[in-house]
Each structure stands twice: as C-alpha cells, then as structure tokens.
Amino acid sequence: MKKKTEAKRQTILDVAAQAFRELGFEGTSMSEICTRVGGSKATLYNYFPSKEELFSEVMFLSSEAEFAAAHDAIDPTTEDIADSLRHFGEKFLTFLYSPNIRAQRHLAISQSGRTELGRLVYERGVLRSENLMAEFLQTAMNRGKLRQAAPKVATRHLYSLLESELLERFLFQILGEVGADEIKAVTARAIEVFMAAYGPPPAEDSQPEPVRQPPAGATPQ
C-alpha cells in the first residue's frame, strides 16, 4: 500500500510540474491538475492541501540537487575557514542567481502576503539553508576558528554580505546575467568583510611587547 501511495504522489508531482511549466503558477488550478491526474479532488487534497504546498514541493524537488551541492561545500573539519566560506559562497550565489531559482524567488516574493507560497519558500529554503550554515559557524567558533558570537546572527550577516552587491538589482529586476567571474569577485569581497568582523582574535603571543622605559636618569639615545 505504501508503494502505491508513493507512486500516486509522484504521479501528481509529475503532472503538476508539467502544468506549472505550461500555464504558470497563477494559471494553474487544482481543478486543472485533478483533471490531468484523474480521480477525485479529495484524493488530490489528501496528498497536497493547497496549490502552494504542491508548487513548493515541485519547486524544491527540481532544485534539491543544486541546493545540496552548494551546502555540501561547507566543511566543518577545514582549517582554513575563509577558504571554505569562499568555496561555499561561490557555489551558493551560482545556485541562487541561476535563471530558474531567480524566477522562483521573484514568484515567491510576489505571492507573499497574498498566498502561503512566500512562507513555504522561506521556511523550506531560506531557513533550511540558514540552519545548516549556523551549525557550521557554531562548530568553527567552538574550534576557535571564529570569534564567539550568536551563530544565527553571524549567518544572516554572512548571507547579507554575499548578496549585498546583487540583491537590490535583483529585487527591482534590473540585474542581468551574473557570470562566474562576478560571482567570484563578489564572494571574495563579502568573505573578506565577514572575516574582518568574525575572524578569531589574535593569539596572545602575537601581541606586541610593551615598550621598555629607560632607567631613571639614563641619557636618551
């Protein structure tokens, strides 16, 4: 029975993905999907309680491999935190500013406040990514590779820095294609600022020695 249930769910997802590609999010209704799948509306809603839930599942399944690849770049055992963060940042921005994900983000933003799509994308995408990064930063802090701070706050600062040169143009839809060279440069500048703020404090033995005062009455050289 479980196999049959999973097969039915996958059929719904496949049919819905095709409908969304052809008609767009707003042009696709649950009735349309139900007609294409066959069966009752009650069965469809039993699997997915809303069009937003169904669309978000289709969306995340289509981008899961790229999402995982970007976050697999986070190496908690690394000795060079800045290099690991640069590696992640380049993969993350490449994912985030790919044509498909850009379109999905614009759609989610446009639907925020009108439907549940914005909340679903935020919870399943943004928060999921932030939680993974916060765990990495906490580990780095515990190992003395970064200064102690609130990992969730540090994560938001990191993500804000990574997008700082791109986000406004993205939101106003005046951002052209973002190439690999630009992503590399943007990431390098972001990580430089992040490490300046969150890098580990200098070791005590690297502190300059105090200036020795000459004995009283000695003639200055």
Judge if 38 and 63 occupy the same domain.
Answer: no
Mean pLDDT, rounded, of the chain = 91
CATH, residue 102: 1.10.357.10
- Number of Cβ atoms within 10 Å of the Cβ of 18: 14
- Per-residue pLDDT tens digits for 70-116: 999 898 888 999 999 999 999 999 999 999 999 999 999 999 999 99
Q: Are residues 34 and 143 in the same domain?
A: no
Say if residue 131 is in the same domain as residue 93: yes
User: Exposed/middle/buried for 51, CB within 10 Å: 0-12, 13-18, 19+?
Assistant: buried
Percent of the chain scoring above 90 in pLDDT = 84
Q: Give me the torsion for CA of 103, 51, 19, 173, rounded to 10°.
A: -10
In a domain, 128, yes or no: yes
pLDDT digits (tens, 9 = 90+) for 186-208: 999 999 999 999 999 877 544 55
pLDDT in tens, 117-151: 999 999 999 999 999 999 999 999 999 999 999 99
161-166: average pLDDT: 98
Asked if residue 63 and residue 33 are part of one domain, the reply reads no
| pLDDT tens-digit map of 172-187 | 999 999 999 999 999 9
Dihedral sign computed on CA atoms, order 113, 153, 191, 92: negative
Q: Environment class of residue 170 by beta-carbon count within 10 Å: exposed (0-12), middle (13-18) or buried (19+)?
A: middle
The number of domains in the chain is 2
Q: What is the CATH number of the domain that holds 11?
A: 1.10.10.60
At residue 214, does pLDDT exceed 80?
no
74 with 10, same domain: the answer is no
pLDDT value for 211: 61
Tell me the mean pLDDT in the region 47-68: 95
Query: Which amino acid is located at 161 in the chain?
Result: L
